[in-house]
Amino acid sequence: MRANLTAATIPMLFLAGVLGVAFNAIPVQAADPYTITVNADDDANPLHVNIQWQNATDSGTGTTAFQLTGQTGDIMLEAPPTYIEGSTFYIFNSWNYDETTSQDRTITISSATTVTAHYTVALTVDKALTECYTIPDTGEPVACSPNEVPIATVVYFTMRITLHAYTPVTAATVKDGIGADLVLDQYVQSSGDVAYAKAGKGKMGATKVTWTIGDPEVSVDYTLDLYVYTGLNPKHKQEYTSTGIQYLNSGPEVYFVHEETQYVVQGPSIAANVVAPPELQ
């Protein structure tokens, strides 16, 4: 059968013959590759969160902030539900891309894109030195600076542990170690029960304090004040016998349960700088 050529198709076939190109072989221009930047923050400060990613051909994990170059089409991002940095426990809140609260999010890359995983502060633990003093022969306390603790002198310290829950958690317990160079004189807690004992063999006489809080109320500061003083070393000489930085403890650890999972957050340690009086320098 003979094909009928219309007046419209003849010029198009002629042009194809001159150019030597078939209509079904015209190349389709590929989409330009773009860079995607992935961040994480707590609405104020950047966080170093491990985010999983996956595209059509590859996958991996990046620590925020990181970039993925040469991206087109769809890419899946998945943020962890919780995150611990320093002395703070965070929970995932949302992606800034579309404010979705799902931890995993697939986005379509059609331009250079910045995506941020927002986290919310859920719990903090802190420890601070609130008081430092000596008692000379006059019997009146004399304040001293943690940066200038006198050598070979009885020094009294007050350390405060503070726990604050911004979201409901349960079974909160704080454990803290006091160095062997210090004697625990007394303690005062805002709530809960406190127990203490000397650590086992090989711990050089350190004191272990356990503060059981239970289920803390949201947005309430729970505090434990520890009153300690420098003791005698094995040669029965008053600590400290040498100058330099002395760590009063290794920092408190708070154990708690959030959504049926137990977590541990490490609080900061406290240090003092022991110095000699000017006449001995």
Number of Cα atoms under 13 Å in the Cβ half of residue 27: 3
**Residue 281: helix, strand or coil by DSSP?**
coil
pLDDT of residue 100: 78
**Which of 1.10.20.10, 3.90.420.10, 2.60.40.10, 3.30.1310.10 is the CATH number of 28-122?**
2.60.40.10
Q: Which of 35, 38, 28 lies closest to 110 in space, CA to CA?
A: 35
Q: Do domains 28-122 and 124-276 have the same CATH topology?
A: yes
pLDDT of residue 241: 81
CA distance 131 to 239: 18
Indicate left, alpha or beta for 73 from its phi (over 0: left) and psi (-120 to 50: alpha).
Answer: left
Spell out the per-residue pLDDT of the chain, length 281, in tens: 444 444 444 344 333 444 344 434 444 444 579 999 999 999 889 999 999 999 999 999 999 999 999 999 999 999 999 999 999 999 999 998 677 789 999 999 999 999 999 999 999 999 999 999 999 888 899 999 999 999 989 999 999 999 999 999 999 999 999 988 899 999 999 999 999 998 765 545 789 999 999 999 999 999 999 999 998 877 777 778 889 999 888 899 999 999 999 999 999 999 999 998 755 55
CA distance 106 to 75: 6
Q: Which of 264, 254, 281, 269 lies closest to 182 in space, CA to CA?
A: 269
CA distance 55 to 261: 31
Q: Which of 208, 222, 207, 206 lies closest to 256 in space, CA to CA?
A: 222
What are the boundaries of each domain within the chain? 28-122, 124-276
pLDDT of residue 8: 45
In this structure, which topology does domain 124-276 adopt according to CATH? Immunoglobulin-like (2.60.40)
Q: Tokens 């003849």 map to which residue?
A: 10
Largest Cα–Cα distance of the chain, in whole Å? 124
